[in-house]
Structure formats: structure tokens, C-alpha cells
Structure 1
Amino acid sequence: MWDAVLSRLLAWVSFGTDKFQGPAKRRILMTNILVMLVTALCVPHILFFLAYDASALRIPIIFVALVAIAFQLTPLLNSFWPYGGGFYNLVLWLGFAGTVSWMFSAQSAIHFYFLAGATTAIAIFGVRQNMLSIISIGLGLFGFIYADRTFAEPADFLNLSDNFLSILYFTSIPTTLLAIFCMVFYGFKQASIAEAALQREYEYSEALLANMLPGPIASQLKRNPGQTIADSHEEATILFADIVGFTPLASHHSPDTVVKMLNNLFTRFDDLANKHGLEKIKTLGDAFMVAGGMPDPQPDHAVRVANMALDMVSATQSFASEMGENLQLRIGIHTGPVVAGVIGTKKPFYDVWGDTVNTAARLETYGTKGKIQVTSETKRILEDHFDFEERGKVQIKGKGDLNLWYLEGHRNA
């Protein structure tokens, strides 16, 4: 039974709000909840009047009961116009507070209800309608001052004792304070929710920016939005990797499976880049590009890249075994000067240019499957730490004959 009652009550509170979204919907829901609270406050007044003297207070009893019913029409008005319920509540509340203040006089302190109504103005009309809120607050203050100065005695048709007025006085003020507290609490609660949401969005944006751009570059871009960011690096090591035979492999699987396979493998490569302190530059289809020694200088950038290349080969073998596929990498590495910077403003990304980049890309293209191919420049830097196998001179498009080497493994192995 109670579940059914609660279900109907919640349905009535949300009645008509499905037409609205965002702040408008939350504001209308709040307005509907407020009228439910007003009705809940009317009930104790009616019971008190009935218990004290039902015959002498029959007119206030009927009036408060009618007002409680009238407030329940608010959801109907909100469903037609987003501010219809607000205007309706304003007029009804001013009429209610004015009438009960006239009936019971300022001695009952019931005119403080004007102030309770004024505090709900922003909740009802929202911050986007400040003028309506200011008008509502002004009318509430005017009604309070007018009732305090004008209604010195109860209405002539009510024969009320001083004891009744004292009881009403000591219940009206706490009720008003409770209503004001609820409104202030609601305001701070909403502000706290909004602040938490903003913090989550900020943290998400920071994490997204950190994934898109290197940390120092992201910080520089935030300090100087719109600034052109371009840096020259006298020496960096560039790695290009490509999955051999990926195109025919992709033709035998669904697009969803292909994307999942690439995501799984490249996620492992991302972890390796983090492990070795290297900067992932980008992915192009089934190609993966990493840079060492930038944006911050690293004396051992070539060693870091070589270690990652060996780990990438191992990770690919493990992944291929898990998938039951014959996957192998072709990797090219070259060391030299580069230029790096941020391209674009709508979808900015960090990229690297220069002959060093072109050479590393050519080494990957003219490489051997399952092998890590490096130039003589890179080999000279790494030969104290790693073993190499000479491939010999290879004709590279745009570069001529280059003496190339295969990186085999660590020297101490």
C-alpha cells in the first residue's frame, strides 16, 4: 500500500518535467517538491486548529485546507509553461501569507511566512530569471513589513485567546526558520554538487590533455592559449613500428575484432612507453611512433628506445600466441635532430618533423619482419650496451645507400 502511495507521489512530483532538460527540469522538480512540503506544513496547522477549537477556527481550517489543495495544482501549470508554476506559487503564497496574517495578526508571528516564501524565490525561478526572483523577494519583504505594521489585532470574526496566539507565535517562527534552513541547505547542496561535477570534469579534461600532449607541452599550452609551440631538439631517437601483413589479416576478421586487436596490442605499447619514459607521438593505422629525448632531454634516450623496441617485439609475440595469429613487427630506429610542436587548435596534437623522422619511417618500410633495424648513427650510440648484426648497405628511397644494422639484444645477454 505504502509503496503504491509513494509511487503515485513521485509520479506527481515529476509530472510534466519530461518536456524539459538540465537546469530547467531540476528547477521545476524543486518547485514541485516545495509545494509538497507546503502541503505537509499545512496539515499540522489544520490538526492544531481542529484540536484547539474546531468550531471557532472553522474558517481558517477551511482556508488552509483549500490552499493546500490549490498548491497541488502546480505540476499541471509547470507542464504547460516552465515558469507557470512559479508565478502561480508566488501569487498563491502571497495570498495565503497575507490572509493568515490578517486573520491571526502580527501577534501570532505568522506573517514571518512572507520571509519563508521570499527565500524560495531563487529556487523557484532559478538564477537565469534574477528579475523574477528580485520581484518575488521584494513582494515578500513588503508583505512582511506591511503585515507587521498593519495587522495589530486578529480579525473580528475570530475570538482568539492570548494563549492561542502565544502557541502560534512559538510555532510560526521555528517553522519559518526551518523553511529558510531547508532553502539555504538546498542551495549549498546544489552548489556542492555543481562544484564536485566541475572538479570531475576538470580532472577528466586534465587527464585527457595529458594523454593527448606531453606534460610540459600541456602546461605551456594552458599558460599561453593560442601560442605557437615549436621546439628544436639537437638529438632525439625516433622509432617507427608496423605490423607485418596486417591488411590481409584484417580482411579475415570483422571490423570490431580488428579494432579490439589493435587496441589491445597498442595499449601494451602505451604501457611500455610509460615504463621506459618515452613519448608516444601517434598511431597511423597499424603503425606506432615513439620518440625519446623529447620534449625533455634524456641523455640515454637511444638506450630507452632500444629497450622499448625489444620489449615491443616480445609483447607482440605474446599477443600473437594469445590470439592464435601470426603477427610480427617491423621496426625502424634512427637518431638525430628533430623539430617538435603542436599542430592545430580545434584538435591539437603533438608531432615531430625532420630528416630523422623520415629516415626512421623509411627504415621501418624497408625493414625485415620480426627485426629491429637501426642506422649507423644509432648503432654507434648503442654498441656498448647491445649486440648487433650487420645487414649491409640498403638502397633507401630518398636516402640513397645506407649501412644498416639489426638490433639483436642486450650485450650482457
Structure 2
Amino acid sequence: MAQEQRRTSPSLSKIFRAYIEYGLKDDIERQRRRQLMCNTIMGLSALSSFVHVGTFLLLGSPYWPASFIALCIGVTFLVAPIWYSYAPTSAVVLGTPFLCGLFCVQTYLVGADSATHFYMTLTPIIWLAILGPQRPLLLGYATFIAVISVLVAMFFFDTPALSLPNYAAYSAVSRTMVVSWTVVLTLVIGFVAFLRAERAEDALEAEHARSEALLYNLLPNQIASRLKSDPSQTIADRVPQVGILFADIVNFTPRSLQMNPDEVVNFLNLVFSKFDELADRHGLEKIKTIGDAYMVAAGIPTQCSDPVHRIADMALDMLETTRSLSAGIPGGVDVRIGLHGGPAVAGVIGIRKLFYDVWGDTVNTASRMESHGEPGRIQVMETVRTALERDYVLERRGTIDAKGMGAVTTWWLIARRSTPA
């Protein structure tokens, strides 16, 4: 006997699960949710109808016609998910008047005092839960059919057509069942609807938080806030004085050929993460990385009084950081650094994958100082040397032929002075 129960229980469970999950193969999540709602509501409604079938059978032969109609209603509810999965519009257009007609016949048999016709008042909320608000004409149609059916049953079927014994007791029980089921089904639909709404809001809030974090990670905070206030605006600022630094890892290309992809990425991530920490410490704005090159700026988007000094401190700390990293990296790591100061234009470009960039002769000069420099050294122009010589030790390199600039005199930035000159 116990074995038979163990065999029966899983089979009933599988049948119930198969019914609830019927038609959920649609790839569109919204359609899956609506089919699941249809399966659940129709299954519960069928269960309620079958309870009525049993009740009528227990009451005796005078109630058997009502039992047959209740059975028809239950079977209709039971097959409704299949109908809806293949033809949702037809299920509403034809299924609604068919079910309302059956309920009217039921009310005709047992009388309006049983409150059976009030089951039809659930029609609008049931279809709203299944169809959603995007089908207002169908919802209006179903509501109209339900209202007309309730009014007909209420005003024309006051006296039961069947000769029913103990009718007062039956009516009291029937009204209790109608009220109870209406409350339960409304609660179930409302609970599921609010649960879905809350989950949707949680998902939107989480997505918004991720978008916010990504936006503020890609763009400076001040620029991101300006874009949020007016996404269509053009972000373009002319800044009178900025400091620009370019750093390039020496011999990275031949070195990367001897490394696997994971090693390349981990190596760059290690070095550039340390540079990011230095940029945060000095209050600078990381502009971008291009391959093994690193670009950082001072004085944008928030202007400051000493952008060149800040960028010089960053450069010296970068050399110190690479020396420290070299102790734990086979082959070590060395960088070539160039910096410059002056006016520039900064702004946001692109529609997708927005990024903040800086343009102008100051940027080009800083790039030339890096590309024409030497490993482990920081190269600057004469104008930068003039701005820094009071607080930093500089060493004259001499005249070099810089691409696009011709012959220029440059200097090496060596260290900070312990006391101003």
C-alpha cells in the first residue's frame, strides 16, 4: 500500500506540474508569464468548479442538472490554457460568452439567491491578469459580456428552475463559497501582480545602479552629472591650463609575443591599476589607455591652480612604482614618460561607448615628449622646466628633433627639491 502511494504521488505531482508549465516554451519572457498566469488561474477555477460538482452530487438527484453544468464549467476552465496558448484572442472572444452563458444557465437552475452569477464579476480581473493592459479592446469586450450576463442572471433568474430541497441552507453555503472564492482568487491575482511589479522595480533599480556605476566609471563625475541632466547636450570645454602626461611601457610589444593572453592582460592590469591608484591620490583624471600607453590629466574637468606640478608628482611616483613592481616581475618593467602643460579642449565624443578626451597642442606635445624620451626618464619642454624649476630638480637634455615640431630643447625631470630653490 505504501509503495502504491509512493508511485501515485509522483505521478499526480508530474501531472500538476505539466499542467502549470503547459505552453511555457515561448522565448519571450512576457508571453511565458502570461501563459503561466493563465494556467494557474484556470487551474484554480477548474478546481473550484469540481468542488461545486461534488457538492451538487452530495445534495441529491434534484441538484444533478446543476452538477452537470458545473462539470461543463470545470472542463472549460481546465482546457482554457490549451486554447489560450494556440489562440489567445479567440479564447477571450469565444471563451468569455461561452463561460458566462454556462454561469447564466447555472443561475437559472439554482436561482440568483445562490450568488452563482457573481463568479462572472471576476472576468475582467482574470483577463487583465492574463492579457495585461496592452489589449484594452479585448478587456472592454470581456467586461461588457460579464456585466450583461450578471445583470441578466440577477434580474431574470431570481427563482430557481429546479425544485430544490433545503434551498435556504444551500443558498447560504453557496453564497459563502462564492464570497470565499472571489476573495481568494482576487488575493492570488493581486499578490502575483504586485510581486511581479516589485520584482520589476527591483530589477530596474539594480539596472539603474549598474548603469550609474558604469557611467561614473567611464566619465568624470562632473561630466556624467552634466550628461544626466541633459543627455542631448554637447560636452566641450576650453580649459586655459591643464597638465597632460603620457606613459608607455618600454619594449612591451616584443615582450607580449612571448606571453599568453592571460599573462598579457594580467601584466597590464597590474601596472595600470597601480597608476590608477596614483591618479586618485594626486587628484588627477585618467583619460584613457591605448594598448600599453597610459594618459592622465590634471586641471580637467575641475580646474586647479597647479596642474603641471600635480602631473610632475604623478610622473615621479610612476617611476618609483615601476621600480617597486620590477622586483616581483620577471624581466622587470620600465616606462617612458612625457608631460606638458598649457591650454586644451576637453569633451565627450561618440554616441555609443562614450568617452571623455582631451585635444590640443598641449596633448600633442606631451605625446612627443614621451615618444622621443628614454626608458626610466621623464622628458619635458622648456616652458614646463620654467614652471617647475623652483620645486623640482631638472637636468638639461639638449636639443632633439621631435616629429612635427622640429628642433626643440628638452629637459629631464629628476626629483622633487627638499626645499624650494
Match for residue 370 of structure 2 among 364, 389, 410: 364
Decide whether aligned partners of structure 1 residues 306 and 375 sit closer, same or farther in structure 2, where only a CA change above 3 A counts. same
Q: Are the counterparts in 2 of residues 273 and 290 from structure 1 also a CA contact under 8 Å?
A: yes
Which residue of 2 is the match for residue 21 of structure 1?
Answer: 28
Match for residue 144 of structure 2 among 135, 138, 142: 138
The residue correspondences of 1:1-400 to structure 2 (distance < 5 A) are 1=6, 2=9, 5-51=12-58, 53-83=59-89, 85-86=91-92, 90-91=96-97, 93-400=99-406
Q: Are the counterparts in 1 of residues 307 and 341 from structure 2 also a CA contact under 8 Å?
A: no
Q: Are the counterparts in 2 of residues 24 and 82 from structure 1 also a CA contact under 8 Å?
A: no
83-92 vs 247-256, which moves further: 83-92
**Helix, strand or coil: the match of 2:160?**
coil
Q: Are the counterparts in 1 of residues 346 and 358 from structure 2 also a CA contact under 8 Å?
A: yes
Which residue of 1 is the match for residue 3 of structure 2?
Answer: none
- In percent, how many aligned pairs have the same letter? 36
Q: CA deviation at 1:164?
A: 1.2
Structure 1 runs of 4+ aligned residues shifted over 6 Å read none
2:42 partner amino acid: V
**Helix, strand or coil: the match of 1:18?**
coil
Decide whether aligned partners of structure 1 residues 257 and 59 sit closer, same or farther in structure 2, where only a CA change above 3 A counts. farther
Does residue 1:404 correspond to 2:410, yes or no? yes
Decide whether aligned partners of structure 1 residues 29 and 404 sit closer, same or farther in structure 2, where only a CA change above 3 A counts. same
Decide whether aligned partners of structure 1 residues 284 and 155 sit closer, same or farther in structure 2, where only a CA change above 3 A counts. same
60-69 vs 199-208, which moves further: 60-69
Distance 2:13 2:413 in 1: 72
Q: CA deviation at 1:383?
A: 4.2
Q: CA deviation at 1:158?
A: 3.9
Q: CA deviation at 1:337?
A: 0.7
Q: CA deviation at 1:111?
A: 1.6
Distance 2:322 2:53 in 1: 78
Decide whether aligned partners of structure 1 residues 61 and 390 sit closer, same or farther in structure 2, where only a CA change above 3 A counts. farther
1:154 partner amino acid: P
Aligned length: 412
Deviations 1:121-164 (A, max 9, x none): 22222222221112112222222222222221223254452111
Distance 2:44 2:322 in 1: 64
Q: Are the counterparts in 1 of residues 244 and 296 from structure 2 also a CA contact under 8 Å?
A: yes
Distance 2:95 2:229 in 1: 48
Q: Are the counterparts in 2 of residues 83 and 125 from structure 1 also a CA contact under 8 Å?
A: no
1:19 partner amino acid: D
Deviations 1:356-397 (A, max 9, x none): 000100111011112232334334444454444443333322
Task: Indicate the RMSD between aligned Cα atoms, in angstroms.
Answer: 2.8
TM-score (norm 1): 0.88
Decide whether aligned partners of structure 1 residues 185 and 313 sit closer, same or farther in structure 2, where only a CA change above 3 A counts. same
Q: Are the counterparts in 1 of residues 242 and 300 from structure 2 also a CA contact under 8 Å?
A: yes
2:217 partner amino acid: N
Q: Are the counterparts in 1 of residues 245 and 297 from structure 2 also a CA contact under 8 Å?
A: yes
Distance 2:272 2:42 in 1: 56
Distance 2:200 2:354 in 1: 28
92-101 vs 168-177, which moves further: 92-101
Deviations 1:250-272 (A, max 9, x none): 22223454334334433443343
Deviations 1:250-300 (A, max 9, x none): 222234543343344334433433333222212212211111101111223
Query: Structure 1: which 5+ runs fail to align?
Result: none
Q: CA deviation at 1:354?
A: 0.8
Q: CA deviation at 1:38?
A: 1.3
Decide whether aligned partners of structure 1 residues 15 and 264 sit closer, same or farther in structure 2, where only a CA change above 3 A counts. farther
56-65 vs 22-31, which moves further: 56-65
Query: Structure 2: which 5+ runs fail to align?
Result: 1-5
114-123 vs 273-282, which moves further: 273-282
Q: Are the counterparts in 1 of residues 394 and 412 from structure 2 also a CA contact under 8 Å?
A: yes
Distance 1:17 1:84 in 2: 19
Q: Are the counterparts in 1 of residues 62 and 162 from structure 2 also a CA contact under 8 Å?
A: no
Q: Are the counterparts in 2 of residues 105 and 153 from structure 1 also a CA contact under 8 Å?
A: yes
Q: Are the counterparts in 1 of residues 242 and 344 from structure 2 also a CA contact under 8 Å?
A: yes
**Helix, strand or coil: the match of 1:394?**
strand
1:309 partner amino acid: A
TM-score (norm 2): 0.87
Deviations 1:205-241 (A, max 9, x none): 2222222322222232333333332211110001111
123-132 vs 286-295, which moves further: 123-132
Q: CA deviation at 1:174?
A: 2.9
**Helix, strand or coil: the match of 2:338?**
strand
310-319 vs 345-354, which moves further: 310-319
Distance 2:270 2:15 in 1: 49
